[in-house]
Amino acid sequence: MDEEKNIKAIIGLGNPGAKYYNTRHSIGFLVLDVFADRFGARWETKDIMEIAEILCNGKKIILIKPQTFMNSSGKVVPFLQKKGIKPENIIVVHDEIEKDFGKVTERLGGSARGHNGLKSIITYVGSDFWRIRCGVGRPDDRNDVSNYVLRSFSESDEAVEKMVFDAVALLEKSCTKE
């Protein structure tokens, strides 16, 4: 996207614990882990989140993985607000069932479209934050969405890796923009 960005924080959505790590719903955690590794950042536990800081193009950027479970992800937002970080300075990385598996897109604003993690964040800051949406596809049965997003990936490791690296490339582009 060509809109001017001044990114100060990136929130990766997921559910805490090893049980959920390789699930569609925790793609935000996977992406942030790879992104943090690229910058040599280390994660620390702070209250209800894991936090790391990177220096990208001379700018400090806070990385956050909420440890509250998806439906309460927005509880990390007051921490950012206390630091003066506004919604337009935030990127949220999340799974998107409305996109084909592996398709990664970026946008500013929009609705939650049924995503409880986004609903929680919107409750705290409104909808005008950046999103990196990682397509995980939709189950055939609409009633199976909860189980579908909480199951481990059934796609190949290479397909999951490509999606993660595509999302990381968008994050790198966003934080290196002047």
User: What pLDDT, on a 0 to 100 scale, did the predictor assign at position 172?
Assistant: 92
Average pLDDT over residues 123-140: 95
- pLDDT category at 178 given cuts 50, 70, 90 is low
Whether 89 contacts 42, CB under 8 Å: no
Which domains are delineated in the chain? 9-176 (3.40.50.1470)
Please, how many CA atoms are within 13 Å of residue 49, restricted to the half-sphere of its CB?
A: 21
Q: Which residues are catalytic?
A: 25
Cα–Cα distances in angstroms (integers) from residue 99 to residues 31, 42, 72, 102, 106, in the given order: 17, 31, 23, 8, 12
Q: Taking 90 as the threshold, does the pLDDT of residue 58 lie above it?
A: no
Average pLDDT over residues 110-132: 95
